[in-house]
């Protein structure tokens, strides 16, 4: 038996059941390849960015297949259409063409007049005049060919003099001062009234070519009258002024008021001094001393820098000299405080006339301020500009009108009467004693007829008055029986009540004679100069 496999012999014929393999066509191969690609794509798509989009697309197809399909059937409907034919209207448009005036054949002279009012109340009437001149090349060299001739017309007012004229300003005045009837027949319009308006017109003349600096209408007409009065029975002299009331916020005193509100000392035109001043009595520094010393140091440091312009060096030198004087004044003297003390401001035009005119008011003289139906005691505490009148301390202003501030005057009309008693200043100045001021003013008013029935002199409350200590019970002496039941124990008077104000001032109840008060006070000259320069705009700034 043979172990070799049954393999066909190469030359053996194939079996009868065997069929040869047929070759595949191109279509079949392409179909197979496409099928494989579809399978491969299906496997890779979930891992590509398009998987989500394809999924949503399939969902949309399935969803649309589920919805009910609506069949839209269209048909033609016949309607009668009426078409409106627009009517075209013919509009004639008029075109206005400006026809230029004919050109002049020669020069025509002209005269144009215009009227306007400046911000300061001055009515300005302009008159333009033209005339035929020479050639332009010649006229431009002649200063007379192009000029302005300015003329300012001012009516200087007349002064009130009779009782009727005075009461026109304040109807209460004859009743408040019944002694006016006895004094007015011999009353005289003071030369200070005419001097005041002379100073005003001189100032206007100096600023005539600078209209923005000319004294405005309100401040030009700020004084109704200045009368020199003498009571026939007592020969007491008084100077009556009718004016408005501006506000002054100046002054400082470290002894009485160690601190000062910024609202006051940062106001425009503020000065820490008043012309009425006295030696310091404590070591409390002036509340503004540190600020003034700082200003002085800054000025000295800048002045020490080399290379500054000569003009700046002059300014700094003048400033340093002024600040040194002011710092010295702060260390040595105290002044009135406009916020706490009742005083009035008198014009610098009065200064220097005491030897020539017995009605000249001076610093320290007593005065009474009358507004409507009230009368207030005061003193002349400071100097103001020589071309203005009518000003009082912030305390006086707020008492007359609570709305007053350093920038708002209490009375803008000429309704305030100032009755000043010349030659009544105390020889030695000291801190304000308001009770004494009232007594002195009451006595002086009594010498010119007194205060009318129904009117009283205002009482100022002392803003720095210390509260009195409470009354103490007097202990019973040894061996003496205590007071009976129900009978109150005798109390001792306050420790500081050694004498009543009336008793302490009884020696001064009679006003001094016409002895000239001391005027050579240290610092008054500097304060007066300050008033002339720094306060020149203090009245025009208020409203």
149 pLDDT above the threshold of 70:
yes
Q: Which of 320, 420, 306 is nearest to 363 (CA)?
A: 420
Shared domain for 137 and 248, answered yes or no, is no
- For 515, counting Cβ atoms within 10 Å of its Cβ (0-12 exposed, 13-18 middle, 19+ buried), the class is exposed
Asked if residue 363 is part of any domain, the answer here is yes
Q: Are 511 and 445 in contact (CB under 8 A)?
A: no
Domain that holds residue 359: 163-466+509-534
Asked if residue 377 is part of any domain, the answer here is yes
Shared domain for 330 and 290, answered yes or no, is yes
- For 224, counting Cβ atoms within 10 Å of its Cβ (0-12 exposed, 13-18 middle, 19+ buried), the class is buried
Asked if residue 497 is part of any domain, the answer here is no
Shared domain for 297 and 366, answered yes or no, is yes
Pairing of β 391-393 and β 237-248: parallel
Asked if residue 215 is part of any domain, the answer here is yes
Shared domain for 272 and 321, answered yes or no, is yes
DSSP three-state, residue 314: helix
For 187-206, what is the mean pLDDT?
A: 94
In terms of average pLDDT, the best of 377-381, 477-481, 500-504 is: 377-381
Under 8 Å CB-to-CB from 452, ≥6 apart: which residues? 175, 176, 177, 178
Shared domain for 217 and 174, answered yes or no, is yes
Which of the residue ranges 32-46, 313-327, 488-502 would you say has the lowest mean pLDDT? 488-502
Other Cβ atoms within 10 Å of 287 Cβ, number: 18
163 pLDDT above the threshold of 80:
yes
pLDDT in tens, 309-345: 999 999 999 999 999 999 999 999 999 999 999 999 9
Higher pLDDT, 24 or 87: 87
Distance, in Å, from the CA atom of 415 to the CA atom of 401, rounded to the nearest integer, reads 13
Under 8 Å CB-to-CB from 113, ≥6 apart: which residues? 125, 126, 127, 128
Asked if residue 399 is part of any domain, the answer here is yes
Shared domain for 140 and 255, answered yes or no, is no
For 18-28, what is the mean pLDDT?
A: 64
Which of the residue ranges 76-80, 145-149, 477-481 would you say has the lowest mean pLDDT? 477-481
133 pLDDT above the threshold of 80:
yes
Shared domain for 141 and 172, answered yes or no, is no
Distance, in Å, from the CA atom of 364 to the CA atom of 361, rounded to the nearest integer, reads 9
Shared domain for 122 and 249, answered yes or no, is no
Shared domain for 140 and 168, answered yes or no, is no
pTM above 0.85, yes or no: no
Question: Where does 385-462 show beta strands of DSSP type E?
Answer: 391-393, 411-420
Q: What is the reported pLDDT for 261?
A: 82
pLDDT in tens, 415-473: 999 999 999 999 999 999 999 999 999 999 999 999 999 999 999 999 888 777 776 66
Distance, in Å, from the CA atom of 304 to the CA atom of 418, rounded to the nearest integer, reads 49
Asked if residue 240 is part of any domain, the answer here is yes
Shared domain for 186 and 132, answered yes or no, is no
Shared domain for 115 and 196, answered yes or no, is no
How far CA 204 is from CA of 126, 199, 211, 217, in Å, comes to: 19, 9, 9, 11
Number of domains in the chain: 2
Shared domain for 139 and 246, answered yes or no, is no
Q: What is the reported pLDDT for 70?
A: 66
For 391-418, what is the mean pLDDT?
A: 96
Cα-Cα-Cα-Cα torsion 249, 252, 257, 262, nearest 10 degrees, comes to 50
Asked if residue 473 is part of any domain, the answer here is no
Asked if residue 440 is part of any domain, the answer here is yes
pLDDT in tens, 218-260: 999 999 999 999 999 999 999 999 999 999 999 999 999 998 8
């Amino acid at each position: 038996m043979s172990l070799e496999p049954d393999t066909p012999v190469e030359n053996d014929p194939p079996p009868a059941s065997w069929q040869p393999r047929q070759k595949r066509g191109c279509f079949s191969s392409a179909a197979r390849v496409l099928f494989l690609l579809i399978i491969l794509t299906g496997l890779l798509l979930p891992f590509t960015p398009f998987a989500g989009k394809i999924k949503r697309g399939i969902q949309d197809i399935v969803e649309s297949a589920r919805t009910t399909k609506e069949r839209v059937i269209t048909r033609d409907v016949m309607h009668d259409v009426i078409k409106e034919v627009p009517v075209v209207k013919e509009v004639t448009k008029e075109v206005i063409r400006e026809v230029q005036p004919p050109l002049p054949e020669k020069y025509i002279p002209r005269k144009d007049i215009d009227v306007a009012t400046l911000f300061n109340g001055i009515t300005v009437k302009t008159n333009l005049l033209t005339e035929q001149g020479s050639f332009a090349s010649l006229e431009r060299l002649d200063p007379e060919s192009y000029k302005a001739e300015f003329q300012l017309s001012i009516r200087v007012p007349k002064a009130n003099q009779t009782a009727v004229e005075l009461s026109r300003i304040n109807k209460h005045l004859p009743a408040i001062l019944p002694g006016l009837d006895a004094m007015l027949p011999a009353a005289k319009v003071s030369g200070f009234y005419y001097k005041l308006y002379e100073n005003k017109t001189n100032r206007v003349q100096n600023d005539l070519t600078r209209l923005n600096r000319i004294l405005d209408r309100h401040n030009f007409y700020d004084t109704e009258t200045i009368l020199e009065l003498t009571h026939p029975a007592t020969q007491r002299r008084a100077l009556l002024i009718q004016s408005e009331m501006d506000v002054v916020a100046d002054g400082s005193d470290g002894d009485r008021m160690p601190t000062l509100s910024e609202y006051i000392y940062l106001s425009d035109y503020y000065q820490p001094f008043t012309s009425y001043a006295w030696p310091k009595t404590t070591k409390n520094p002036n509340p503004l001393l540190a600020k003034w010393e700082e200003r002085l140091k800054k000025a000295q440091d800048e002045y020490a820098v080399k290379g500054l312009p000569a003009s700046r060096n002059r300014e700094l030198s003048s400033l340093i000299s002024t600040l040194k004087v002011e710092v010295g004044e702060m260390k040595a003297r105290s002044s009135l405080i406009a916020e706490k003390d009742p005083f009035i401001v008198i014009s610098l035009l009065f200064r220097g006339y005491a030897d020539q005119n017995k009605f000249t008011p001076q610093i320290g003289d007593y005065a009474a301020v009358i507004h409507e139906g009230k009368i207030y005691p005061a003193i002349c505490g400071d100097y103001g500009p020589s071309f203005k009148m009518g000003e009082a301390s912030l305390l006086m202003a707020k008492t007359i009108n609570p709305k007053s501030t350093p920038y708002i005057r209490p009375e803008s009309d000429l309704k305030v009467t100032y009755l000043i008693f010349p030659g009544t200043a105390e020889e030695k100045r000291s801190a304000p004693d308001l009770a004494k001021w009232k007594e002195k003013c009451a006595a002086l008013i009594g010498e010119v007829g007194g205060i009318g029935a129904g009117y009283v002199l205002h009482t100022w409350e002392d803003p720095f008055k210390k509260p009195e200590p409470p009354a103490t019970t007097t202990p019973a002496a040894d061996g003496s029986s205590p007071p009976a039941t129900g009978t109150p124990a005798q109390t001792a008077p306050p420790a500081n009540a050694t004498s009543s104000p009336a008793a302490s001032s009884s020696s001064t109840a009679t006003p001094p004679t016409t002895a000239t008060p001391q005027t050579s006070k240290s610092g008054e000259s500097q304060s007066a100069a300050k008033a002339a320069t720094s306060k020149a705009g203090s009245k025009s700034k208020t409203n």
